[in-house]
Amino acid sequence: MGKRVQAAAVNFPGAARWFRNCEVTGIPVRPEFFALAPPSSPDPRLLVFGGSQGARILNLALPPILESLLHAVPRLTVLHQAGARLAETTQAAYATTGADPTRWSVAPFLDDMPARFAEAHLVVARSGASSVAELAAAGKPSLLVPFAAAADEHQKRNAEAMVDAGAALMLEEPDLAVPGRLLHALVVLLRDPRRLNAMGAAARTQAHPDAAERIALKLDALAQTR
Protein backbone atom coordinates (compact mmCIF):
# COMPACT_ATOMS: atom_id res chain seq x y z
CA MET A 1 0.00 0.00 0.00
CA GLY A 2 2.86 2.36 0.78
CA LYS A 3 3.68 2.64 -2.91
CA ARG A 4 0.14 3.56 -3.90
CA VAL A 5 -1.06 6.19 -1.42
CA GLN A 6 -0.40 9.92 -1.24
CA ALA A 7 -0.71 10.09 2.56
CA ALA A 8 -1.07 7.82 5.58
CA ALA A 9 -2.42 8.01 9.11
CA VAL A 10 -0.97 5.34 11.40
CA ASN A 11 -1.23 4.25 15.03
CA PHE A 12 2.43 3.64 15.92
CA PRO A 13 5.64 5.42 14.84
CA GLY A 14 7.10 2.12 13.66
CA ALA A 15 4.61 2.01 10.78
CA ALA A 16 5.56 5.44 9.48
CA ARG A 17 8.67 4.25 7.64
CA TRP A 18 6.53 2.48 5.06
CA PHE A 19 4.72 5.62 3.88
CA ARG A 20 5.40 9.09 2.58
CA ASN A 21 3.44 12.05 3.95
CA CYS A 22 2.72 10.01 7.05
CA GLU A 23 1.42 11.14 10.43
CA VAL A 24 0.97 9.22 13.68
CA THR A 25 -2.66 10.09 14.32
CA GLY A 26 -3.84 7.04 16.21
CA ILE A 27 -7.06 5.16 15.50
CA PRO A 28 -10.46 6.71 16.28
CA VAL A 29 -11.96 5.28 19.47
CA ARG A 30 -15.34 5.99 21.04
CA PRO A 31 -15.11 8.85 23.57
CA GLU A 32 -16.47 6.62 26.35
CA PHE A 33 -13.16 4.72 26.47
CA PHE A 34 -11.32 7.89 27.45
CA ALA A 35 -13.56 8.63 30.45
CA LEU A 36 -13.70 5.36 32.37
CA ALA A 37 -14.07 5.34 36.13
CA PRO A 38 -11.69 3.11 38.13
CA PRO A 39 -12.94 -0.41 38.90
CA SER A 40 -15.71 -0.29 41.48
CA SER A 41 -14.28 -3.24 43.43
CA PRO A 42 -10.75 -3.75 44.76
CA ASP A 43 -11.09 -7.47 44.06
CA PRO A 44 -9.17 -8.40 40.90
CA ARG A 45 -11.18 -8.83 37.72
CA LEU A 46 -9.90 -10.39 34.52
CA LEU A 47 -11.52 -9.67 31.17
CA VAL A 48 -10.75 -12.13 28.36
CA PHE A 49 -11.65 -10.50 25.07
CA GLY A 50 -11.15 -12.25 21.75
CA GLY A 51 -12.80 -9.61 19.60
CA SER A 52 -16.44 -9.55 18.50
CA GLN A 53 -16.24 -13.10 17.11
CA GLY A 54 -14.11 -14.49 19.92
CA ALA A 55 -10.69 -16.11 19.65
CA ARG A 56 -10.64 -19.89 19.57
CA ILE A 57 -7.14 -20.12 21.02
CA LEU A 58 -8.14 -18.07 24.07
CA ASN A 59 -11.30 -20.13 24.46
CA LEU A 60 -9.15 -23.26 24.57
CA ALA A 61 -6.34 -21.85 26.73
CA LEU A 62 -8.24 -20.35 29.66
CA PRO A 63 -10.49 -23.17 30.94
CA PRO A 64 -7.64 -25.64 31.72
CA ILE A 65 -5.91 -23.11 33.98
CA LEU A 66 -9.03 -21.61 35.55
CA GLU A 67 -9.08 -23.57 38.80
CA SER A 68 -5.37 -22.99 39.44
CA LEU A 69 -5.73 -19.32 38.58
CA LEU A 70 -8.64 -18.77 40.96
CA HIS A 71 -6.74 -20.60 43.71
CA ALA A 72 -3.59 -18.54 43.15
CA VAL A 73 -5.40 -15.18 43.05
CA PRO A 74 -7.94 -14.92 45.88
CA ARG A 75 -11.24 -13.16 45.08
CA LEU A 76 -10.43 -13.07 41.36
CA THR A 77 -13.37 -13.16 38.94
CA VAL A 78 -13.13 -13.85 35.21
CA LEU A 79 -15.37 -12.57 32.41
CA HIS A 80 -14.70 -14.23 29.05
CA GLN A 81 -16.19 -13.09 25.74
CA ALA A 82 -16.06 -16.21 23.62
CA GLY A 83 -17.92 -15.22 20.45
CA ALA A 84 -21.40 -16.32 19.40
CA ARG A 85 -20.27 -19.46 17.56
CA LEU A 86 -17.96 -20.64 20.33
CA ALA A 87 -19.75 -19.55 23.49
CA GLU A 88 -21.56 -22.84 24.17
CA THR A 89 -18.46 -25.02 23.98
CA THR A 90 -16.42 -22.51 25.97
CA GLN A 91 -19.12 -22.35 28.65
CA ALA A 92 -19.05 -26.15 28.86
CA ALA A 93 -15.26 -26.19 29.12
CA TYR A 94 -15.37 -23.75 32.02
CA ALA A 95 -18.12 -25.74 33.74
CA THR A 96 -16.21 -29.02 33.57
CA THR A 97 -13.33 -27.50 35.57
CA GLY A 98 -15.40 -27.60 38.73
CA ALA A 99 -14.34 -24.04 39.57
CA ASP A 100 -16.70 -21.91 41.65
CA PRO A 101 -19.30 -20.72 39.09
CA THR A 102 -19.77 -17.44 40.96
CA ARG A 103 -16.21 -16.48 40.02
CA TRP A 104 -16.38 -16.89 36.24
CA SER A 105 -18.74 -15.99 33.42
CA VAL A 106 -18.76 -16.70 29.69
CA ALA A 107 -20.63 -14.45 27.27
CA PRO A 108 -21.07 -14.78 23.49
CA PHE A 109 -20.91 -11.01 23.06
CA LEU A 110 -20.55 -7.98 25.34
CA ASP A 111 -22.61 -4.96 24.34
CA ASP A 112 -21.11 -2.26 26.56
CA MET A 113 -17.37 -2.70 26.13
CA PRO A 114 -16.39 0.59 27.81
CA ALA A 115 -18.22 -0.54 30.95
CA ARG A 116 -16.56 -3.96 30.81
CA PHE A 117 -13.15 -2.37 30.37
CA ALA A 118 -13.83 -0.07 33.32
CA GLU A 119 -14.43 -3.01 35.67
CA ALA A 120 -11.36 -4.97 34.54
CA HIS A 121 -8.00 -4.83 36.31
CA LEU A 122 -6.33 -6.79 33.48
CA VAL A 123 -7.39 -7.63 29.92
CA VAL A 124 -6.31 -10.67 27.91
CA ALA A 125 -6.85 -9.89 24.24
CA ARG A 126 -5.72 -10.18 20.66
CA SER A 127 -3.69 -7.25 19.40
CA GLY A 128 -5.67 -6.04 16.42
CA ALA A 129 -5.54 -2.33 15.69
CA SER A 130 -8.90 -1.45 17.23
CA SER A 131 -8.39 -3.56 20.35
CA VAL A 132 -4.99 -2.01 21.02
CA ALA A 133 -6.37 1.50 20.48
CA GLU A 134 -9.21 0.81 22.92
CA LEU A 135 -6.81 -0.55 25.55
CA ALA A 136 -4.71 2.59 25.21
CA ALA A 137 -7.70 4.91 25.43
CA ALA A 138 -8.98 3.06 28.50
CA GLY A 139 -5.57 3.00 30.14
CA LYS A 140 -5.81 -0.75 30.74
CA PRO A 141 -2.92 -3.15 31.29
CA SER A 142 -3.06 -6.16 29.03
CA LEU A 143 -1.65 -9.54 28.16
CA LEU A 144 -1.70 -9.68 24.37
CA VAL A 145 -1.76 -12.79 22.19
CA PRO A 146 -1.23 -11.76 18.55
CA PHE A 147 -3.11 -13.62 15.82
CA ALA A 148 -0.32 -15.68 14.25
CA ALA A 149 -1.80 -15.62 10.73
CA ALA A 150 -2.18 -11.84 10.55
CA ALA A 151 -0.64 -10.41 7.38
CA ASP A 152 2.99 -9.35 7.80
CA GLU A 153 2.66 -10.17 11.53
CA HIS A 154 0.94 -6.83 12.03
CA GLN A 155 -0.74 -7.95 15.26
CA LYS A 156 2.64 -8.94 16.66
CA ARG A 157 4.01 -5.51 15.73
CA ASN A 158 1.08 -3.85 17.54
CA ALA A 159 1.74 -5.96 20.63
CA GLU A 160 5.46 -5.21 20.52
CA ALA A 161 4.74 -1.48 20.49
CA MET A 162 2.60 -1.83 23.61
CA VAL A 163 5.22 -3.99 25.31
CA ASP A 164 7.94 -1.47 24.47
CA ALA A 165 5.79 1.26 26.05
CA GLY A 166 5.49 -0.80 29.25
CA ALA A 167 1.74 -1.18 28.75
CA ALA A 168 1.47 -4.93 28.08
CA LEU A 169 3.00 -8.36 28.14
CA MET A 170 2.96 -10.49 25.01
CA LEU A 171 2.62 -14.24 24.65
CA GLU A 172 2.66 -15.68 21.15
CA GLU A 173 0.32 -18.50 20.20
CA PRO A 174 2.95 -21.27 20.65
CA ASP A 175 3.60 -19.95 24.17
CA LEU A 176 0.07 -20.91 25.19
CA ALA A 177 0.92 -24.55 24.52
CA VAL A 178 3.81 -24.46 27.00
CA PRO A 179 2.50 -25.86 30.31
CA GLY A 180 2.23 -23.21 32.98
CA ARG A 181 3.35 -20.24 30.90
CA LEU A 182 -0.02 -18.49 30.59
CA LEU A 183 -0.93 -19.30 34.20
CA HIS A 184 2.36 -17.93 35.48
CA ALA A 185 2.07 -14.71 33.48
CA LEU A 186 -1.48 -14.07 34.71
CA VAL A 187 -0.69 -14.84 38.34
CA VAL A 188 2.37 -12.58 38.37
CA LEU A 189 0.38 -9.67 36.96
CA LEU A 190 -2.80 -10.12 38.97
CA ARG A 191 -0.87 -10.35 42.25
CA ASP A 192 0.87 -7.05 41.60
CA PRO A 193 -1.59 -4.11 41.64
CA ARG A 194 1.21 -1.56 41.50
CA ARG A 195 2.55 -3.08 38.31
CA LEU A 196 -0.93 -3.16 36.80
CA ASN A 197 -1.42 0.52 37.65
CA ALA A 198 1.93 1.39 36.07
CA MET A 199 1.07 -0.59 32.94
CA GLY A 200 -2.30 1.15 32.72
CA ALA A 201 -0.65 4.56 32.94
CA ALA A 202 1.80 3.50 30.22
CA ALA A 203 -1.08 2.35 28.03
CA ARG A 204 -2.67 5.77 28.28
CA THR A 205 0.50 7.35 26.83
CA GLN A 206 -0.25 5.46 23.60
CA ALA A 207 -3.75 6.92 23.29
CA HIS A 208 -4.81 9.50 20.71
CA PRO A 209 -8.05 11.21 21.76
CA ASP A 210 -7.98 13.51 18.73
CA ALA A 211 -7.39 10.78 16.14
CA ALA A 212 -10.61 11.30 14.18
CA GLU A 213 -10.10 15.05 13.92
CA ARG A 214 -6.47 14.69 12.84
CA ILE A 215 -7.37 12.13 10.18
CA ALA A 216 -10.15 14.38 8.88
CA LEU A 217 -7.75 17.32 8.67
CA LYS A 218 -5.24 15.18 6.80
CA LEU A 219 -7.91 14.11 4.33
CA ASP A 220 -8.92 17.73 3.83
CA ALA A 221 -5.32 18.79 3.24
CA LEU A 222 -4.85 15.97 0.74
CA ALA A 223 -8.01 16.98 -1.10
CA GLN A 224 -6.78 20.57 -1.34
CA THR A 225 -3.64 19.43 -3.16
CA ARG A 226 -5.47 17.55 -5.90
- What are the structural domains, with CATH classification, of the chain? 1-26+208-226 (no CATH), 29-207 (3.40.50.2000)
| Whether the predicted pLDDT of 117 surpasses 80 | yes
Residue % of the chain over a pLDDT of 70: 100
Please answer whether residues 203 and 141 qualify as being in contact, where contact means their C-beta atoms are separated by less than 8 angstroms: yes
| Whether the predicted pLDDT of 225 surpasses 90 | no
Please answer whether residues 116 and 97 qualify as being in contact, where contact means their C-beta atoms are separated by less than 8 angstroms: no
Task: Determine the pLDDT at residue 72.
Answer: 98
| Whether the predicted pLDDT of 163 surpasses 80 | yes
d(CA 62, CA 74): 17
pLDDT tens column, 122-131: 999 999 999 9
Task: Determine the pLDDT at residue 226.
Answer: 72
- For residue 108, what pLDDT band results from cuts at 50, 70 and 90? very high
- For residue 186, what pLDDT band results from cuts at 50, 70 and 90? very high
- For residue 152, what pLDDT band results from cuts at 50, 70 and 90? confident
Task: Determine the pLDDT at residue 51.
Answer: 77
Task: Determine the pLDDT at residue 53.
Answer: 79
pLDDT tens column, 68-91: 999 999 999 999 999 999 999 999
- For residue 214, what pLDDT band results from cuts at 50, 70 and 90? very high
| Whether the predicted pLDDT of 62 surpasses 80 | yes
Taking alpha carbons only, the member of 142, 187, 138 closest to residue 166 is 142
| Whether the predicted pLDDT of 153 surpasses 90 | no
Cα 215–chain centre separation: 23
